[in-house]
Each structure stands twice: as structure tokens, then as C-alpha cells.
Structure 1
């Protein structure tokens, strides 16, 4: 064969090789794109709480896991483990263990360590503590560290170390502030949940706690004046001290909140009403409903200008007046006391803003954007809040 023929043969082989390489590369790229599309689809199903569909797609994806880049492989496994958890399936444990073995020193592994620890908190607290310690040794700072600290406090809470947990959580919240990072914000909400549990007991127990103090009744005292002095209500003082009426006598000792007062923050984005002390201490939160699209709840600063039980309600749609017991009365459930706290302006508390905090005849809508602009709570929550907050309490409504 001539030199020219050999050269042509080499060129042909080279072209075939290059073509094959690019063909392989193109095929691999298409496979990766298809796999990522499945990952996004599974995530969408998970977000919609369609866990069966998410699991089915993730199972298909795990069978072709090598098509994904390594970080996406770990993401797919984490997602599958979380779907299993939502379904209450024990397979979540083996997936988390696989992530720890195959993807060590990654965020996915840290996430799996966190999830494994949380799953063991109730039945195997010592194992959970060790997992949290392992996580803190690997990630001493950042969102995973805060989440591990939160887990440790849940374990301490179950052991009954309430005041230690209380102090820890207040310190944790002070460090966190109001984070924009989703993981850190989830830790903040977890801390709020646990503090709410603690404060629910303290607020309505006659025992003295870090948020309260004793007051000895003096000659001439009346309960309403004591309530005003301590920025609370006579209803609350009666409830917490087991008083059947507002009648009091000298030298009685009653429980009162520490002075300073409270304020309310309504967060429309997470549909929660938060109760804080005026020194910034978080007290508790309630699930709330806010205005729907055509009746948006207006953000801003307000004060409680009126407090009423069983008031007449005027429909914003047609101006019709409804009394308690009327069909269509919207401020409470049939047969139960209705509560209304009207919101005025800081400069004019009696101003008619059209906004208020109240109960509802549709308790299933609480936790959604469903009202005609006001903030709605379920019956037990509005009854409790009505007792806790006095007139002129500051109310902030946030986007």
C-alpha cells in the first residue's frame, strides 16, 4: 500500500474515532439532561406532596444514577430519603447510610447525619446525641451546626431540663436574628415551636417561671389596675390564678407577668401570628389566615383599638349586618363566644381601618389566604390571645 493510501486510512480512522467520541459525548449529555429533568419532576411532585409519584420517578432515576453529575447523584438520594420519611417508611435509614458511605464530607452527608439523628431522638436519644456530636465536629459553624444544637435541645427538653433549654433557645435565637437562608430560617422556626411548647405551660400555670413574678395584693388594689400596671388583662390574671371573679383581698399573692408588655407580629408569608414581649423575647405563635387575593391584608403598624365579645359583624361584600347566631355570621363558630380585636392606628387607636383579629366560622381556612382582609384564628387561639393582650397592644403586619 502506498504512503498516500496509509495516510488516507489513518485519517478515516481518526475521523471515525472523533465522530464516535463526540457521538458518545452527545449521548452522555442527553442522558444527563434527561436524568436532571426527572430530578426536577420528582422535586415538583414532592413539593405538591404527591410522594408516590415522586418515589416512582426517583426509583427510575436511582437505576441510572451514573448519568447525573456526582453532586446531583447525592441530591437525588437525599430527596428519596426525604420522600421515604414523609411516607413513614424505614427505607429512609438505608438511603441516608448509603449517602454517608458514598458521599462523605458533602452537604448531602451532613444532611443525612442530621436526618438520622432526628429520627432517633425519641426512641434512641443517646444514639441521636452521638450523631449530633459527630455532625458538630464536622460542621462546627453554619446551618448544620445550628440544626444540631436545636436537636440537642429537643433531647434535653424530653429529659425535663426545661429552664436549660429555655436559656439555650433564647441565646440561639439571638444569634440567628432573622436569617434569609432557608435552612437557618427553618432552625429559627423549630426554636419557636419548642419555645411555644414551654411557654404554653408557663403562661397558664400558677407556678412562677422566668417570665413571671409574684405580686402581693395591697389594700385598695383592684384587679383591673394591677393588670394595667403589668401590661396584661384582668381576664388573664383571673385565669392564671384560678380566680372565679375579679374580687381580691389584701395580702393575697398572685402571679403576674414581668412588666414590659407584649406586641404582635403577623407574617403573611408564613401565615403565622407571633407574640413577643416588648424586650424582644419570643413567647408563642399561632397559625392564622389572612386576606385572599381580592382582599389583601394591608401591611403596616397598628394598635389594638377595640376589644369586643360577640359583636355585630358587617359583611364587607354587601354591608349586611349579622348578629351572633345568625347564619353566615363570620366572626366565630356557632354556639361559641366570638372575639374581635379591632386594629387602629398608633396615632389614632380608634381609627376605623377595617382590619381586625378575630375568630371564624370556617376554621378549616385558618392557615390560608382566605379572609376578607382581617387576620383570623381558630376559636381556642383567639380566645387565648384575647385574654393575653391588652388594649393598645402594638400589631405589626409584614408581607
Structure 2
């Protein structure tokens, strides 16, 4: 998006809040990571933009595009069936406080003393010097009605497009920080989890390094978080799990690009030692793994080998019937 148009949309778009509840899931046992279930949605005749549909189901825009490749994000065809990617694998880390996986543009919140997880789509830092860093930190401050003080780098970048930013933008409905913010103690405290004054940009790399939530999501999170809450930010485009019933799953997202010329759909993925070991299991179908890695749907895919019917052992025909939408 042109920087001028982007800035105007930040400052002057109204905060239309669509409150359709929250994406809340019961926590599985510690030996399981699979939560939720994918849904289908038929685009109505008025053809709402994909962002509006994503907002309704608490999904990020990129997540919808990963699950539905080739869809027109502005005017999806009426009657077409969309996949709502609301099934996922929990990140393989401590289920405590807030976990943010940059690669999937999701925030996981584990309320203390509960047996649930709440999942929020997020916007993250742009490519280049505005990347959101990996960290383990905590919430140091709860800020209601935050002001916005653009950094020197932000001011310089906007000045190159002829936009002179104010030294401080006061709190209120025109503030791109929204009405609520959580300051992280990492580094000099310049990174925040905050809302926005526009519903555009959730599920995209669009911020100056902070974590952005939709306004209604941020309000709910703000009133659920005590100071000192642990926050862990990771960057893992591949998640995987062996479930208690013997099912093997992998969930593959497009990796974050590091250069303007990168194509996240074909960028090579780095396999960790743990993932390589996971793939050595005899029950896993290596061909299906390769298809899933190439597809990068952002949804969990069961990758167990198919048990062949003795009357039809044509493996290629069976593989063709496997859907990676689960």
C-alpha cells in the first residue's frame, strides 16, 4: 500500500468493532497439541471483502489467503466455499502467559488458573529494520488511551513520502495505537502489544515492530492481563505433533521473507533437528509431507501412511484423494 494512503487510513478510518465473541479453545492434555476444527463459509451474494470475513471468524488476513489460495481478497465470488482455518497446533513451548508465533501471525493467551487458550490474529513488524524480534520477556505496563510518539526512523520514513508526523499524536480515536496497549520490558520498552484505529492490517506485516490486535480483541486482552505476565515471541513456520491416538500432524506456514524479492511460497524452510527426528517415524508418509511442505496451507495436516486395501493397492490413486485441508 502507498505510504500516504496507509497513513491516512491509520489516522482517519473509523474503529468499526465487529464483536463476534472470541476464539477460545479448551486445552488438550500436555501430550496433545491439536485444537479447534476448520469450518466452511459460503460467500453471500453481497460479496464481503475477505478482511470482513476474517474479522467475523477471528482469523488474520494472511491465514485466510494461505487456506484459500487464488481467492480475490476484495470481491470473492458469491457462492464460493471458503475454508475458515480455525484448527491449529499449539506452539511447542511453555503454556504460560502469552506466546506469539510471528510466522503464523497469531497470539496465544493462556489465562492463569484456567484450562483454556484464547487465540488472537495479529499484525507484526514490516520487512527490514521494523522486524518484530524474537524474545522472552514480560508485560511491564498497562496503558489505557496511549499516545503515539513516532521514532526518528518512522519520522524519516514518512518524511521521504512527504508526510511530516507530529512529535506526539494524542490519545483518542485517531491514534493508530488504539485505546489500549501493553508495554513489554524487552530492551528499552519500545515494543508494545496494542490495538489500532482501523480494522485493516491484522494478519499482515504492517507495523513498526509492535504487535497489533483488532480493537475489540485488544480490549479483551487488556483487561485479562496482569503486569508481569510472561511473553514469549517465536518464529516457527513449521509446527508438528504426535497425538495420543497415534496421528501425526504438521502445520506449515509461509516463512517470513527477509528481502523484498523473496517469495514466501517457495522460500526454503529450515528443518530443526527435532523436526528431522520427527519425520523419521515409520508411520509417516514422506510423500504427503513433501506435498504439505510445498502447499503451506497454514492448517494442520494428518501425515500418517494410508493403510492400503488389499483389493486396491494403487498407492498413487489413494494419495490423490488425500485432502490437506483436513
TM-score class, shorter-chain normalisation, is 0.3 to 0.5
In terms of Rg, which structure is larger?
Answer: 1
Q: Return the structure number with greater relative CO, CA threshold 8 A, min gap 6.
A: 2
Whose strand fraction is larger, Structure 1's or Structure 2's? 2
Higher helix share: 1
The TM-score with structure 2 as length reference comes to: 0.40
